[in-house]
């Protein structure tokens, strides 16, 4: 096989990762990743698990005892959450407003749930009135929602109200924060969210392959009162937690190096401060939005309050070649953005500003490169105006 630089995975350049994850990684996290392996029952590893657990509680905004990280990806954590919370025959309601909420339905059905979907227009969030009407008509045991839908770029903005409604109607609330946690305000306890999971590779700034979750008191009750075993042994949290708590019962071999990396990522988050980190994500996103609109492009999410700072969806303008634009961005500029997912394939681009990548330089570079590429394709965009608007937003004007 012929090998040329940048065409060989071994010489993979440091990409500018502005897709919907993975995001760029801080050097300290890379160093942690390659620290020596120790045994999965080594006291030093238990110490790292304890510190990880403590910092995850801060990140989730919770005091939940059942807080840990699974050796899987965000999709695995989605499955882990659902298999633990669902028993065959349970009624489940999924807020459907994107690809990832659709996936929740599929998994819940494989758990034997009777799933209803709350249809929400793509580009909108779940409306409390709509949820309440649905819960009145059809009571369920579990409601599952996605906080930040990476397929649409929408942030579910009224989670505390939605949680209250779920509880008033006897349902638990499970929330997917894969694309939001660490980049967007989230308070599991204050908002009374019963179960939450996330991934490592988006706003936490850690490579993919380890997935944190937390279960609160109502979710714990469900675990305790199950009449059937969790269909997955590997994801059975009642077993997994015994590896994480003082019992230290071997369940699986802890993903040692990924844990070193996650822990370092969590320390970086604590050093920056969650509030400052959320503000940084918002600041970068506002500049991106201003730049795209000044350039003459259209954001997919119309309502500014529903735009998730971590993933921006922008409509592919008429005359632009979707795949080619992304290819040139990647090959010529080393810059990755995402294409549209599901029904939005070919219609939107997904631009991530997550973790280390939520920075003004990424915004300016992306807008400059995109403007040039579109103009070269004969698409009429105001490239310079876009960069100027973004620069102004970054500098607080």
Query: Interaction with its own copies in 262-281: which residues (CB under 8 A)?
Result: 263
- Please choose, out of 107-115, 127-135, 163-171, 276-284, the segment that lies near its own copies by the rule CB under 8 A: 107-115
Quickly count: other Cβ atoms within 10 Å of residue 12's Cβ. Answer: 10
Using rule CB under 8 A, residue 74 touches its own copies:
yes
Binding mask 245-264 for its own copies (x = CB under 8 A): -----xxxxxxxxx-xx-x-
Query: Interaction with its own copies in 49-68: which residues (CB under 8 A)?
Result: 51
Q: 40 in helix, strand or coil?
A: coil
The Cα–Cα gap between 239 and 46 comes to: 16
Residue of 95, 98, 182, 207 interacting with its own copies (CB under 8 A)? 207
Least distance in angstroms from the C-beta of 34 to its own copies: 4
Least distance in angstroms from the C-beta of 58 to its own copies: 16
The Cα–Cα gap between 355 and 373 comes to: 26
Bridge partners for 17 per DSSP: 336
The Cα–Cα gap between 323 and 297 comes to: 17
Total chain residues near its own copies (CB under 8 A):
73
Q: Are 82 and 144 in contact (CB under 8 A)?
A: yes
Query: Interaction with its own copies in 24-43: which residues (CB under 8 A)?
Result: 24-25, 30-31, 33-43
Least distance in angstroms from the C-beta of 222 to its own copies: 18
Least distance in angstroms from the C-beta of 163 to its own copies: 26
Least distance in angstroms from the C-beta of 132 to its own copies: 30
Query: Interaction with its own copies in 319-338: which residues (CB under 8 A)?
Result: 330, 336, 338
Q: Where are the alpha helices (DSSP H) in the chain?
A: 27-33, 43-60, 74-85, 99-110, 128-137, 159-168, 217-225, 237-244, 256-272, 274-295, 322-333, 360-376, 383-394
In the bound state with its own copies, the residue whose beta carbon lies nearer, of 345 and 380, is 345
In the bound state with its own copies, the residue whose beta carbon lies nearer, of 7 and 375, is 7
Q: Who contacts 155 (Cβ-Cβ below 8 Å, separation ≥6)?
A: 125, 147, 148, 180, 184, 306, 307, 308, 309
Query: Interaction with its own copies in 335-394: which residues (CB under 8 A)?
Result: 336, 338, 341
């Amino acid at each position: 096989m012929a090998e040329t630089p940048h065409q060989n995975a071994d010489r993979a350049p440091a990409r500018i990762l502005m897709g919907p994850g993975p995001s760029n990684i801080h050097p300290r996290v890379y160093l942690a990743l390659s620290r020596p392996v120790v045994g999965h029952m080594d006291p030093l590893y238990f110490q790292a698990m304890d510190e990880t657990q403590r910092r995850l509680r801060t990140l989730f905004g919770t005091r939940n005892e059942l807080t840990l990280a699974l050796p899987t990806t965000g999709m695995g954590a989605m499955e882990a959450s659902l298999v633990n919370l669902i028993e065959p025959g349970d009624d489940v309601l999924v807020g459907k407003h994107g690809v990832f909420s659709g996936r929740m339905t599929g998994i819940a059905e494989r758990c034997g749930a009777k799933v209803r979907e709350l249809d929400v227009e793509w580009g909108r969030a779940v409306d409390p009135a709509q949820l309440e009407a649905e819960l009145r008509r059809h009571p369920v045991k579990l409601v599952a929602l996605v906080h930040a839908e990476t397929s649409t770029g929408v942030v579910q903005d009224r989670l505390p109200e939605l949680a209250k409604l779920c509880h008033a109607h006897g349902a638990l609330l499970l929330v997917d924060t894969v694309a939001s946690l660490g980049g967007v305000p989230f308070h599991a306890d204050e908002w009374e969210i019963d179960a939450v999971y996330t991934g490592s590779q988006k706003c936490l700034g850690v490579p993919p392959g380890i997935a944190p979750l937390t279960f609160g008191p109502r979710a714990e009750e469900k675990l305790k009162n199950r009449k059937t075993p969790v269909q997955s042994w590997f994801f059975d949290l009642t077993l997994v937690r015994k590896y994480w708590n003082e019992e230290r019962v071997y369940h699986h071999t802890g993903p040692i190096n990924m844990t070193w990396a996650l822990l370092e990522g969590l320390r970086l988050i604590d050093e920056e401060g969650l509030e400052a980190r959320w503000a940084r994500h918002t600041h970068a996103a506002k500049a991106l939005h201003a730049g795209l609109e000044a350039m003459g492009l259209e954001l997919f999410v119309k309502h500014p309050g529903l735009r998730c700072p971590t993933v921006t969806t922008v409509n592919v303008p008429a005359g632009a070649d979707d795949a080619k634009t992304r290819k040139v961005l990647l090959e010529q500029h080393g810059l990755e953005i995402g294409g549209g997912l599901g029904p939005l394939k070919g219609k939107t681009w997904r631009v991530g500003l997550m973790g280390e990548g939520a920075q003004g330089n990424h915004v300016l570079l992306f807008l400059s490169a995109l403007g040039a590429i579109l103009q070269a394709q004969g698409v009429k965009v105001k490239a310079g105006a876009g960069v100027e608007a973004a620069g102004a937003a970054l500098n607080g004007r």
